[in-house]
Structure 1
């Protein structure tokens, strides 16, 4: 199964726009792609975007949605736009940058690992994975695999992916934007857990009691 044509188009357009903003911030194609690590970053970006075309993720409000949490979507969108442009721009002008080429390559590795962790649960959940906080038809609770340990692996992947992008540009501003992603992400997790608790009751409470929310041993 793959994304619907509309979501597939959005996925491709968003990827091209994200890279375009980074190239613009980096001073154009020649300057941006003068760094081997950024060439690798671009390849990983397209690989992750291509993999996303084969998921069943959606934006369905399903049978029951927490509409009060929709405010996080424009917040994520704004942070995403800033993260696309500012790290590359600050890298180019040398503002609040640190590290060298090794840090860039570490960033590429984290970007790839985080992106894979972000997508893995989307494949596992299939049509149950929605960009909205919603219960889908036939929704069941997944408690195996990585979900045996943490309840929100995709969000952990998002944070690692975002941090990797920032480090690929050696950008302190990018790291700050990753930190600013945490408050709406925590709000999103809270809304999802309230909805799952209301829908699954004791089954979810028992699952919640034996797992970590995001980072094993910490949170």
Structure 2
């Protein structure tokens, strides 16, 4: 089971590299269209966290000889797959506007379709679920706890930076939508 889990982590790593290629292309397009980038300082910390995350998942499982936790691992795998689906729904909805940086093109209306009909930050919901459940697939609970806590701190900064940069049109479009959970508070 360990080899299957490590293979899954490898696939996630390859997927992230593909996302970075797409992100770089989309960011260049947004900047060429007059986009302005904000939040560069916290971006470095976020990139480091996400890179270290996959390595920590593997390291904890191998070094502490974590066993596959049966039903919990199967459940965690299911949630991780649903998180991937949510991520790609968000990416597909944003289309060429999606990237891993905070780049705002003046005059662009906020995207309110797809998963954005329900919550302000569906991609961050996917990231939260992934960081919590991917390690739990193979019992790496220390990684799940530590990286979830670190991610919460980074998202606190990131979301405030992003929402401030998106401005009044964003605030008006999303005034009645919760940040993370449908039916939750704004």
TM-score, normalised to structure 1's length? 0.68
Runs of at least 5 residues in structure 1 that lack an aligned partner in the other structure: 1-30
Q: Choose which of 101, 113, 131 in structure 1 pairs with 2:82.
A: 113
- The DSSP-based 3-state class of the residue aligned with 2:27 is coil
Q: 2:73 aligns with which of 83, 86, 104?
A: 104
Deviation (angstroms), 1:32 = 3.4
Deviation of the 1:154 alpha carbon: 0.6
CA distance in 1, matches of 2:122, 2:45: 20
CA contact (8 A) 1:87 1:173 kept: no
The 1:73/1:140 distance shift into structure 2, 3 A limit, reads: same
Q: How does 1:35-46 map to 2 (within 5 A)?
A: 36=4, 38=5, 41-42=8-9, 45=12
* Aligned-partner Cα distance in 2 for 1:148–1:115: 18
Name the structure 2 match of 1:27.
none
Q: Which residue does the alignment assign to 2:122?
A: 153
C-alpha distance in 2 between matches for 1:144 and 1:70: 27
Cα RMSD, aligned residues only: 3.2
Indicate if the aligned counterparts of 1:88 and 1:169 stay in contact, CA closer than 8 A.
Answer: no
Q: Distance in 1 between matches of 2:16 and 2:63?
A: 29
Matches of 1:126 and 1:90, distance apart in 2: 36
Paired residue for 1:170?
139
Larger radius of gyration: 1
CA distance in 1, matches of 2:55, 2:20: 24
- Which residue number corresponds to residue 175 of structure 2? 209
Residues of 2 paired with 1:46 and 1:75: CA distance? 18
- Equivalent position of 2:93 in the other structure: 124
**TM-score, structure 2 length as denominator?**
0.78
Distance change in 2, residues 1:48/1:142 (3 Å)? same
- Count of equivalent residues: 180
Q: Report if the CA contact (8 A) 1:143-1:207 is conserved.
A: yes
Partner of 1:90: 60
Aligned counterpart, 2:108: 139
Which 5+ residue runs of structure 2 have no aligned equivalent?
none
TM-fit CA distance, 1:99: 7.4
Q: Which has the higher contact order (CA 8 A, sep 6+)?
A: 2
